[in-house]
Amino acid sequence: MADFTLPELGENVAAGDVLRILVKPGDVLAKDQPVLELETDKATIEVPSSIAGTVKDVRIKVGDKVKVGQVILSVEAAGGNAAAAPASAPAKTEAPAAKIAAVAAAAPVAVERPAPAVTSHAAAVEASQPDGPMAPASPSVRRLARELGIDIAQVAGSGEDGRISIDDVKAHTKRIVTSGGGAASGATALPHAEPLPDFTRWGAVDRQELRGIRRKTAEHLTAAWLTIPHVTQHDYADLTSLESVRKKYQKQVAAAGGALTVTAVAVKIVAAALKVFPQFNASIDLANNAIIYKKYVNIGVAVDTDRGLLVPVIRDADTKNLTQISVELMQLSEKARTKKITLEEMQGGCFSISNLGGLGGGLFTPIVNAPEVAILGIARGKFQPVYDTETKEFSARQLLPLSLSYDHRVIDGADGVRFLRWVVEAFEQPFAMSLY
């Protein structure tokens, strides 16, 4: 007999939730045959077997959380080989449900109420030590600590007799985050304002576990919102001239296997802009008092799928022409929608673009995808009357709403305006793109 264990799933992926089991006892198993569908924090993966033989026992069930190295199957190996074959890497990934959504930071409430039920790891720590001295802090300060997942007993108070203030809790949280300790020491729960009511009092509900992609997305965006001082700059680009050029060449690009879309043009423009404004192609390392400037240009593009929003990455976008970018974007988008996108194809981004124009709406505030320091949001373009100061007349122009969010620790407001104006002018002067 041989045991098949869960193989390495990818960088920083140690476990996953079992969505489907693709074999049963008695099945004849071929090497590289998918045996398990697993949802990790990053993607949904089909795990292939590294063993050929007959399945004797399935050691897991749907809904289990399994870890790398855990025994999945017992197999009577072909040829009577009793040694367990080494686990292989996963063959493919499929699109997870990971729509980007803003998660607002919890704010302290001035009105003091009775302490709520335990809602976080830190609150559990505090509740589990009733015999110890109570940290000197008001109920509103304690509530903020619970919301942030902070053990208030670990916070140094700056007030009289060591009394802890809201600023002390915030400073403690900042120290933990910048030192790489996560949102709180030992905490994994997301911050939330207060215990939820019993919704079943008013009708039927469907309660689903927050897990896998959705949990990781919520944690990631919460941390980004809590730790990155966001600034969002809005502007409009006049697409009237670009649209005539785009329509002229779209058949030529289509013949090459791509689609000459506004998103593809945006990738080309942003890739060029990052060469002009290197501070937008950076990551901040506060723990080591450094800013890391990348010499490569990889652009992540949000793709809407039936399972959520994925962000495949176009690598070395600055070295590719518009046709190449259009073809690659088409291919990556198709792989995302058909559940064939890999983890590697969604990693290594330097800057992200989120185009919601196909869904409608106007200007919005995208959240920076840490450790990146900026993201460009694109909304639906529409014709609007624009006054021409030379002709003294109004004319219909097709305007594209753009929203640039950036990390104010790395990027000054003036540079944010300069970057977005550069992008706007590139949209408005199609010929200028050939110069970069």
Q: Give residue-wise pLDDT tens across range 320-336.
A: 999 999 999 999 999 98
Per CATH, the number for 2-94 is 2.40.50.100
Average pLDDT over residues 102-108: 32
What tokens does 217 get? Answer: 């997305």
Give the pLDDT confidence score for residue 252 in this predicted structure.
94
pLDDT greater than 80 at residue 72:
yes
For the chain, counts of helices (H) and of strands (E): 8, 20
Q: Which residue has the higher pLDDT, 434 or 396?
A: 396
Average pLDDT over residues 268-278: 96
Query: How much of the chain is helix, strand and coil, in % rounded to 5?
Result: 30, 25, 45
Q: Please name the residue ranges forming H helices in 203-309.
A: 212-227, 240-255, 262-276
Which of 89-93, 116-120, 196-200, 296-300 has the highest mean predicted lDDT (pLDDT)? 296-300
Give the pLDDT confidence score for residue 337 in this predicted structure.
86
- What is the residue extent of each domain of the chain? 2-94, 107-191, 229-435
- pLDDT tens, 147-190? 676 778 889 899 888 889 988 888 887 776 655 444 443 344 44
Task: Using alpha carbons, select from 436, 431, 435, 432 the residue that is nearest to residue 248.
Answer: 431
CA distances from 190 to 121, 150, 205, 396, 427 (A): 9, 11, 22, 48, 40
- Kindly report which listed range (64-73, 102-111, 408-417, 426-435) carries the lowest average pLDDT score: 102-111
Who contacts 338 (Cβ-Cβ below 8 Å, separation ≥6)? Answer: none
Task: Using alpha carbons, select from 252, 248, 299, 270 the residue that is nearest to residue 433.
Answer: 270
What tokens does 377 get? Answer: 């949001």
- Kindly report which listed range (4-8, 132-136, 202-206, 341-345) carries the lowest average pLDDT score: 132-136
Q: Yes or no: is domain 107-191 CATH 1.50.10.10?
A: no
Planar angle of CA 179, 183, 184, nearest 5 degrees? 85
Give the pLDDT confidence score for residue 434 in this predicted structure.
66
The DSSP H or E segment spanning 56 is strand 53-58
Residue 172 is a catalytic residue = no
Task: Using alpha carbons, select from 260, 346, 239 the residue that is nearest to residue 302.
Answer: 346
Handedness of CA 211, 217, 220, 222 (dihedral sign): negative
* Domain formed by 229-435, architecture: 2-Layer Sandwich (3.30)
Average pLDDT over residues 337-342: 84
pLDDT greater than 90 at residue 415:
yes
Among candidate residues 192, 230, 234, 408, the one labeled active-site is 408
Task: For residue 55, list its beta bridge partners.
Answer: 75
What's the rounded Cα separation, in Å, for the pair 394 and 242?
20
pLDDT greater than 90 at residue 215:
no
pLDDT greater than 50 at residue 117:
no
Task: Label the pairing between strands 393-407 and 313-314.
Answer: unpaired
Distance linking the first and last C-alpha atoms of the chain: 61
Q: Which amino acid is at 86?
A: P
- Decide: helix, strand or coil at residue 23: coil
* pTM exceeds 0.75, yes or no: no
Average pLDDT over residues 200-221: 79
The DSSP H or E segment spanning 235 is strand 230-238
Residue 381 half-sphere exposure toward CB, CA atoms < 13 A = 16
Which of 110-114, 259-263, 285-289, 431-435 has the highest mean predicted lDDT (pLDDT)? 259-263
What tokens does 77 get? Answer: 């190996």
What's the rounded Cα separation, in Å, for the pair 162 and 158?
6
